[in-house]
Amino acid sequence: MYLTPEVKQNIFAEHGNSATDTGSAESQVALFTHRIKHLTEHLKKNKKDLATKRSLINLVGKRRRMLEYLKRQDIERYRNIVKKLGLRK
């Protein structure tokens, strides 16, 4: 499995306040980004997997909404997470 508890813990420790900080917007965006990258690689090999394509579209929408929320609440936190994850060019 690509998303083991250890991988999740590392993501939360790196982007959240602690390894157990699973609820902050930054940690959730980082987790969504990790999953999006994995699904994108899967879809490059399996072009006709429509269920995965739908899941990817839903995840991108969730991440976008979370980033919009973060931008409204605290623009500095938004800028930091976007720069750290390399989402905008």
Q: Please report the domains of the chain, with CATH numbers, ordered by start residue.
A: 5-85 (1.10.287.10)
Q: How far apart are CA 59 and CA 29, in angstroms?
A: 10
- Report residue 83 as tokens: 């720069």
Q: How far apart are CA 55 and CA 50, in angstroms?
A: 9
Q: Is the dihedral of CA 18, 19, 20, 25 positive or negative?
A: positive
What is the model's pTM?
0.92
pLDDT, tens digit only, all 89 positions of the chain: 789 999 999 999 999 888 888 889 999 999 999 999 999 999 999 999 999 999 999 999 999 999 999 999 999 999 999 999 999 85
